[in-house]
Amino acid sequence: MRLTNQTAAALKLPAGRDKLVVFDDDLPGFGMSLSKGGSRTWVVQYRNALGQSKRETLGKVGILSATEARRAAGERLARAKLGEDPHAEKVKAKARAAVTFGAVVEPYLNAVSSHLRPAYLAEAGRYLRTVWKPLHKLPLHTVGRQEIAEHLAKIRRETGPHAANRARAALSAHFAWLVGTGAAEINPVMGVPKPAPEVRRARVLTVNEITRVLAACRDDDFGRIVRLLLLTGQRRDEVADMNWSEVDLAGAVWSLPNERVKNGQGHDVPLSSAALRILSTTDRVEGRSLVFGQGVGGFQGFSRAKASLDKRSGVTGWRLHDLRRTASTVMAERLKVLPHVNEAVLNHISGHKGGVAGIYNRALYATEKREALDLLGAYLTSLQPRVEVAATDPEATLAEAEEGRPLPVVAHPAKRRRAQS
């Protein structure tokens, strides 16, 4: 019998039978299954490369025409002759479809938690759990460039290009891990352009701006953090999350462990006299090992404190990370610290310590680092005489500082308030 729409509809289940499978005379392996409940489905039966008999349902009679079912059966039979196993591939495809993007977010975050700094881990978690939530219900293997590009465009419209770039980076890192573990075949983010070009910041505070910022720093946690950022050249979170166990006041050194630095290579930061004065006069809270902040973590509330500092100092358009670049620039241009020593202070592994050179150049430059930071501390201390904001022309004040003439001395704001009262 040749199976057609008409012959399939006309077939009856013999008395006493619960199920019947009828095969086509023209295409061996193509058939129709009829059950007692009245269900009629197209099927295909073949042997795989191991000689095992496999039967696969193609679709319901009436929904899938005989012509369409015959074509589908022919395709599967041809693949079976080539040594493939269409049934096994169908099972595998079904299993892949059951794994959604959202299901692999937490396993990834758990896997990388041990070698990501808490701040980076928290940022990655926020992007993957919240920003990329619209992708969570999609099967992992269906997440492609189109879905990613469309959502990145939305992120850029709603939160800006910088956030879109960070969201792309977090997703790309996630897919790179998925590819490495075999959970994904490709990283679809690689073909999606960045929402906005990455502009490397080059902001360096001028002498006048450094002086104004230092003058506006209060005797509180944030003020101490800002001054230590300039005095040490280290990163914001490294200073804000400083632990008393890392600080040796007697030895005048701050030892950063591997897990607290961006490149995973801990190092010692010599403390100048100016840095020691800040730490030695900072009160220790009983039962708390962190130097700054309150509660569980280190210092919080950067945005509000920074806005207040900008208002007091009159210096705007800069970020706390710019202080690291400023410290490096002052050491290089004004204090003539050699490049390899400058990099050692910043704990950079590029430049003189990058690539093959870094493998063979393991010198710590402890003495040179101390000399450089002592020079930096002395230089910044020399700027402590306060500049009366708006009392003189900023460019003139800068010129005077650059020529080595003393800066005008004014009373500290707190002292002025007491005098006025």
Q: For residue 69, count other CB atoms closer than 10 A to its CB.
A: 26
Whichever domain contains 80, its CATH number is 3.30.160.390
Do 74 and 106 fall within a single domain?
A: no
Do 177 and 216 fall within a single domain?
A: no
Do 216 and 351 fall within a single domain?
A: yes
Q: Which of 37, 55, 87 is the last residue of a domain?
A: 87
Do 73 and 187 fall within a single domain?
A: no
The mean of the pLDDT values for the chain is 84
Do 246 and 143 fall within a single domain?
A: no
Do 130 and 71 fall within a single domain?
A: no
The reply to whether 199 falls in a domain is no
Q: Above 70 in pLDDT, residue 58?
A: yes
The reply to whether 36 falls in a domain is yes
Which of helix, strand or coil describes residue 109?
helix
Do 149 and 176 fall within a single domain?
A: yes
Do 217 and 150 fall within a single domain?
A: no
Q: Above 60 in pLDDT, residue 395?
A: no
Which of helix, strand or coil describes residue 45?
strand
Whichever domain contains 404, its CATH number is 1.10.443
The reply to whether 69 falls in a domain is yes
Quick: pLDDT tens for 204-256.
999 999 999 999 999 999 999 999 999 999 999 999 999 999 999 999 999 99
Which residues are registered as beta bridge partners of 247? Answer: 254
The reply to whether 39 falls in a domain is yes
Q: Above 60 in pLDDT, residue 360?
A: no
The reply to whether 113 falls in a domain is yes
pLDDT (0 to 100) of residue 82? 76
Rounded mean pLDDT of 372-384? Answer: 94
The model's confidence at residue 404, banded by pLDDT at 50, 70 and 90, is very low
Q: Above 90 in pLDDT, residue 16?
A: no
The model's confidence at residue 282, banded by pLDDT at 50, 70 and 90, is very high
**Residue 42 domain boundaries:** 5-87
Which tops the pLDDT comparison, 243 or 408? Answer: 243
If one counts the domains in the chain, the total is 3
Do 329 and 362 fall within a single domain?
A: yes
Rounded mean pLDDT of 386-394? Answer: 41
Quick: pLDDT tens for 115-139.
887 778 889 999 999 999 999 999 9
Rounded mean pLDDT of 74-81? Answer: 86
Following DSSP, what letter does each residue of 135-200 receive, concatenated?
GTTSBGGG--HHHHHHHHHHHHHHH-HHHHHHHHHHHHHHHHHHHHHTS-S--GGGGSPPSS----
pLDDT (0 to 100) of residue 294? 86
Cα(421)–Cα(413) distance, integer angstroms = 12
Do 82 and 110 fall within a single domain?
A: no
pTM (predicted TM-score) = 0.57
The model's confidence at residue 201, banded by pLDDT at 50, 70 and 90, is confident
Which tops the pLDDT comparison, 259 or 310? Answer: 310
Quick: pLDDT tens for 152-171.
999 999 988 889 999 999 99
Do the Cβ atoms of 108 and 154 come closer than 8 Å? no
Do 19 and 129 fall within a single domain?
A: no
Which of helix, strand or coil describes residue 348?
coil
The model's confidence at residue 329, banded by pLDDT at 50, 70 and 90, is very high
